[in-house]
């Protein structure tokens, strides 16, 4: 999975902004010590030769001293070789207001609103069916901007860089071994048992 690491003081600054409810934008050039890696594509081929691929990018904080890693946000796009359907999974931290949903846009384009589908121990996830037109917009864009509300109503914002998206999406992708297949599951490593949302939300 793609990961962007922000070290030490900058980790503290971003985590502090998250706790305080400030808007946070992280780009590939946001900090000197970030290590930008591009979108990665990993695939599984079943016995019927149907290939499922996931193209992923995430923003992850890592503290050098404690070796603790925190996922701030991630975007994953799933494609299946025998279907034109494309699905995007967007994850943000939990302890947020679910009713207001997730707002996302590419650069200054149209803002789209989608409900959160499920929450896990540490993240909440929205699931969006994509069109070819939106994927083309992502290929031409610089950032996917995510906006949502913290539990106390304070706005939060993350920017996911789209640098390398076109190359990752168009690539053949790396075929996973049986031992690696869990990395394509919608549930992230930081989550445990899923917690379905109440009907009222």
Question: How do residues 35-81 score in pLDDT, each as one tens digit?
Answer: 445 899 999 999 999 999 999 999 988 887 887 888 889 999 999 99
Three-state SS for the chain is CCCEEECHHHHHHHHHHHHHCCCCCCCCCCCCCCCCCCCEEEEEECCCCCEEEEEEEEEEEECCCCCCEEEEEEEEEEEECCCCCEEEEEEEECCECCCCCEEEEECCCCCEEECEEEECCCEEEEEEEECHHHHHHHHHCCEEEEEEEECCCCEEEEEEECCCHHHHHHCCCEECCHHHHHHHCCCCCCCCCCEECCCCC
Q: How confident is the model at residue 21 (pLDDT cuts 50, 70, 90)?
A: very low
* Complete domains list, the chain, with CATH: 4-171 (2.60.40.1880)
Using the predicted structure, report yes or no on whether residue 134 has a pLDDT greater than 50.
Answer: yes
Q: What is the percent of the chain where pLDDT is above 90? A: 60
Give the model confidence (pLDDT) of 147-162 as tens digits.
Answer: 999 999 999 999 999 9
The whole-chain average pLDDT of the chain stands at: 77
pTM: 0.72
Give the model confidence (pLDDT) of 174-183 as tens digits.
Answer: 998 765 665 5
């Amino acid at each position: 999975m793609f990961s962007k690491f922000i070290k030490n003081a900058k980790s503290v600054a971003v985590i502090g902004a998250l706790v305080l409810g400030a808007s946070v934008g992280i780009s590939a050039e946001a900090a000197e010590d970030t290590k930008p890696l591009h979108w990665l594509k990993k695939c599984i081929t079943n016995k019927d030769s149907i290939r499922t691929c996931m193209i992923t990018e995430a923003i992850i904080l890592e503290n050098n001293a404690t070796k603790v890693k925190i996922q701030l946000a991630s975007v994953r796009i799933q494609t299946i070789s025998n279907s034109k359907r494309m699905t995007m999974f967007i994850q943000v931290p939990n302890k947020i207001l679910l009713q207001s949903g997730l707002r996302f846009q590419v650069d200054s384009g149209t803002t789209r609103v989608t409900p959160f589908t499920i929450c896990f121990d540490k993240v909440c996830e929205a699931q969006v069916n994509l069109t070819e037109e939106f994927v083309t917009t992502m290929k031409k864009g610089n950032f996917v901007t995510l906006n949502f509300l913290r539990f106390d109503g304070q706005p939060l914002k993350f920017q996911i860089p789209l640098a390398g998206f076109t190359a990752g999406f168009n690539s053949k992708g790396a075929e996973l071994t049986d031992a690696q297949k869990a990395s394509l599951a919608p549930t992230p490593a930081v989550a445990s048992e899923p917690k379905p949302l109440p009907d009222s939300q």
